Amino acid sequence: MVGTVLLVAALGAATGVVTARLLSGGTATQSSYWEAIPQSSDTSSAGSTATNTASSSSDSYPATNMTSSSADTTSSTQLSTTSEEAASSSTDFSSVVEAAMPSVVSITNTIRYQQYGYSQFGQGQDQTAEAAASGSGVIVRIDDDYVYIVTNHHVIADASELSAEFNDGTSADAQVVGDDSTDDIALIKVAVSDLSSDTLSQIKAITFADSDNVKIGSTAIAIGNALGYGQSVTTGIVSAKDRAITSERETMEGLLQTDAAINPGNSGGALLDANGNLIGINVAKYSSTDVEGMGYAIPSNKVLEIVEEMLEGSYSPSTSSASAASSASAQQGAAGQQGNL
């Protein structure tokens, strides 16, 4: 069986242990790590960008430090008053989504690359060009200085500029705090000083669920910037746990599998339980004419552990890449491309 597992902002190919081919905008060559997905010119998010900054909580907006429902049973219902039993008995998750949406952002990665000019008369003038790709992120902490957002490494890789768009439509530059290409996790920050008090009043940090306690068959709600059109919602169940997918460079293990629709642009977005708590960060899907409904997410417990270490400055990934440079072949392949991660 041949297929492609897309890491959502990236996706790729799968057999047994799923083989992943990552997809992102601006680096479309067979030899490049990410394969661009052309984005239609009428996409409203095509011009958005993302940049880096950091955060902590103040009195001017809601309490927003990272919380985990595993430490306190009451915190697991922080984002919704709907009980697990009541939520699971209904297919209407509008109140859950409404409560969680302020924690999800759209991310735009702008890559600058050198374009080499050639003509019938020989080499022409080289010029700098740009390509943009869209992904998603989840707010994990807000303090007096920064809003911290977790996303996938492949969403922010090789970025010349990053921007984050919040629930109210406001965009701001973001900076990379830390990233790990092996676990495909990145933490970025937006300066509180770059956001209005109105925007700060409309955003909040997500509440983490204990992903070890997630049950197969339980509700899964995916929120992300699908195809770069802005936040959208899909629902399904947790289909399996402890799955592995393999890309051209490494194998990711211990992933949650869901049949909630995961599309390009969803990478870095939220996978929630029926209470609106974070159970995973969407990272990939299996794409094939023979297969439907196989998406993957990094479990929230692993995300929380990595993010906390990045915030403390103690995280030491085996393979880290915060470089804004990309290979010549990837740069040339990026010419004129826009995509979704």
What are the catalytic residues?
154, 184, 267
Token pair, residue 109, equals 């990665």
Q: What does the DSSP 8-state code read for residue 275?
A: T
10-12 and 127-142 strand pairing? unpaired
CA dihedral 264, 265, 270, 271 (to 10 degrees): -10
Is residue 235 within 8 A of residue 222, CB to CB? The reply is yes
Is residue 67 within 8 A of residue 155, CB to CB? The reply is no
- Token pair 């902590």 is at which residue? 56
Cβ-in-10-Å burial (0-12, 13-18, 19+) of 150 comes to buried
Radius of gyration of the chain (CA): 19
The residue type of 66 is M
Cβ-in-10-Å burial (0-12, 13-18, 19+) of 214 comes to buried
Beta bridge mates, 142: 147
- Token pair 């960060």 is at which residue? 281
Q: What does the DSSP 8-state code read for residue 90?
A: -
Question: How crowded is residue 217: how many other Cβ atoms within 10 Å of its Cβ?
Answer: 11
Question: How crowded is residue 135: how many other Cβ atoms within 10 Å of its Cβ?
Answer: 36
